[in-house]
Amino acid sequence: MPIIRCYVFFLILGSIYSQAYGQVTSPKNRFEVDFVRGCAPLTVTATNLYPDLTDGIVWNPEWDGDEGNIVVDPNAAPETLVHIYDEPGTYRLLHVIGNADASGPIDTLIIEVLEPRAPQFNLINCTENRVYVDIQDDFYDLLEIDFGDGTTEDRLTSVPSFVYSYAAPGEYTITVRGVFSDANSDDSNCTDSTTTFRTFDGGTFPQATFSEVEVLDETSIRAVYSIPDEGENITYELQVSEDGAGTTRSYPLQSGSSEITVTQDEWNTRENYYCITVAAVDPCSGNDFPSNELCTIALQATAENLQNNLSWQTEPNLFDEYQIIRDDTPLITSIPTNYEDIDVICQQTYAYQVVANDGVGESRSEVIPLTAIGEANPAALTGLQPGLRELAISLTWVETPEAEQYYIYRNQDGTSVRYDSVTSEALEQPYVDANVEIDQEYCYQVSYLDECGNESALSEEACQRVPAQAQIHFPNAFTPNGDGLNDVFLYEATLIESVTFEVFNRWGELVFRTNQTDIGWDGTYRSGKAPEGTYLYQIQVRDQLGNQFTRHGKFILLNPISP
């Protein structure tokens, strides 16, 4: 009779079965196990269902699923295999009879080993010695709950919550154990959870104190509160209603915290106010026990001519007075819900906040920055004078003390357009426009920006032509009498590169000659004063445009005796 050899192997993969005490038979009915699911460390006992072939059975607890890579465990017991899975995971148990290369003798089962996990639940106090049990567990099928008063109940985790009533007030130790409901899972190694809990026997909850509310921005509010020490295991939440009515939003408060910031994108704290309480909630009865109420302050700020206007709204009759804070400094205490700040400087930014107190708590509006403005129309500047400076046009005008910046306008195609600008600090008169062409006329106007950001009216227009050659102008007389006025005969000119300047008397005698552009005749001749009378001048010029020309004419020397 041939020898028939049997091999059994195990490995874990991912299927979930539940606990109890039964046997799971393999797909080909060749072996059975007591558990296919449970918490680590999970002990699984596999029993061979072919007792007449015990000499040919070998077990392998961890197989990789590859039929071409079957490795048997020569130390495994032939009839049964007891194996402990220490690490969570999914394993495959393999059982082989006879030839391991044949697919027929192979039989397997999936074993799932789970990470031990404490049952997930919350205990929330209710009034009159009741407790609200909030089950948040999707790991176990049911929870065995020992309430610490001699009562034990089983609760399905598919039912999320229930209420339990204690017969008398006191401190109770509640123990919760998770259970798998099917007969082929082992939860004996799963973790229990123990909580000490004190019931609240009163008909109402201790109230929280709401001490401060502040608007942070258009969609965010900060609240500061205090929960009493006896509020342990009581649910407190922030309740917010818009404009004191309408839908109320609730925000859970974390145990041990004293401040919360809530944000809603649809809020508009500058247009609407929001009334807020911190409420103790009884989930058993659905009753709330609110704190004092505080409402936000919806602050709006607008700038007018040298005046910043503030207005605000909140719940009527909630506050007796309002304090206006400017730049972190108390400005004034106001009863009405508006204020006009006239002590402002234009272009300066001020930060405003309105604070109100009802004797219990304080409400603070959002801090609103506002830049003061001035709406006056400054008068046009005066004294705009054009001139030539070599191959450029110069502009001078009467400077305006309140000017922060000057704007230069130049006429282009019949329209005066803004051409350039210069700050009052950087202005060095004359202003020079070098972007000009010869034999063209240019017309200018100038305005200024005052310290309030207002632009003045344009000045009167002033025009200047850029000549095609140097322009020379001579006086028709001069008086070299030493009085400091018109004592030298000298021309005025622009664009001169070089000159030869000569003066002759009526007989044609040369009395003065120079090649320097800034030297004139002082009225002396042969170490003495030249006589009164008519004289002739001649000037030969080379200008900066490359022109060469000669000008001549006559003038009168008037030389009265100095007093």
Is residue 79 a part of any domain in this protein? yes
Q: What is the pLDDT of residues 532-545, one digit of tens each?
A: 999 999 999 998 88
pLDDT of residue 509: 94
Same domain, 407 and 457: yes
pLDDT of residue 348: 93
pLDDT of residue 281: 94
Is residue 562 a part of any domain in this protein? no
Q: What is the pLDDT of residues 440-488, one digit of tens each?
A: 999 999 999 998 889 999 999 999 988 888 889 999 999 999 888 999 9
pLDDT of residue 56: 60
CATH number at residue 512: 2.60.40
- Pair of tokens at residue 435: 């972007």
Is residue 289 a part of any domain in this protein? yes
* Structural domain total, the chain: 6
- Domain end call among 114, 129, 164: 114
Is residue 204 a part of any domain in this protein? no
- Pair of tokens at residue 381: 């500047």
Same domain, 10 and 110: yes
Is residue 234 a part of any domain in this protein? yes
Asked whether the beta carbons of 221 and 215 are under 8 A apart, the reply is: yes
- Domain end call among 451, 466, 481: 466
pLDDT of residue 55: 54
Cα-Cα-Cα-Cα dihedral sign, residues 12, 18, 20, 21 = negative
Same domain, 536 and 488: yes
Closest CA to 376 of 307, 283, 440: 307
- 187-191-193 Cα angle (round to 5): 125
Same domain, 40 and 109: yes
- Domain end call among 246, 279, 295: 295
Q: What is the pLDDT of residues 65-77, one digit of tens each?
A: 887 777 665 555 5
Residues with pLDDT less than 70, the chain: 1-22, 51-57, 71-78, 98-104, 244-247, 561-563
Same domain, 287 and 226: yes
Which residues, including other chains, have CB under 8 Å from residue 200's CB and lie 6 or more apart? Answer: 125, 126, 127, 129, 169, 230, 234
Is residue 380 a part of any domain in this protein? no
pLDDT of residue 102: 41
Domain hosting 47: range is 6-114
Same domain, 356 and 405: no
pLDDT of residue 16: 31
Sheet holding 415-423, edge to edge: 415-423, 403-412, 440-450, 462-466
The pTM of the full predicted model, rounded to 2 decimals, is 0.60
Same domain, 12 and 104: yes
Asked whether the beta carbons of 209 and 226 are under 8 A apart, the reply is: yes
Same domain, 56 and 94: yes
- 407-412-413 Cα angle (round to 5): 155
Is residue 164 a part of any domain in this protein? yes
Same domain, 137 and 55: no
Distance, CA of 464 to CA of 387 (rounded, Å) = 7
Same domain, 290 and 305: no
Q: What is the 3-state secondary structure (H, E, C) of 132-196?
A: EEEECCCCCCEEEEECCCCCEEEEECCCCEEEEECCCCCEEEEEEEEECCCCCEECCCCCCEEEE
Distance, CA of 559 to CA of 87 (rounded, Å) = 125
Reduced to 3 states (helix: H, G, I; strand: E, B; else coil), residue 251 is: strand
Same domain, 147 and 185: yes
pLDDT of residue 111: 95
Same domain, 10 and 106: yes
Is residue 500 a part of any domain in this protein? yes
CA distances from 442 to 52, 394, 493 (A): 123, 11, 19
CATH number at residue 45: 2.60.40.10
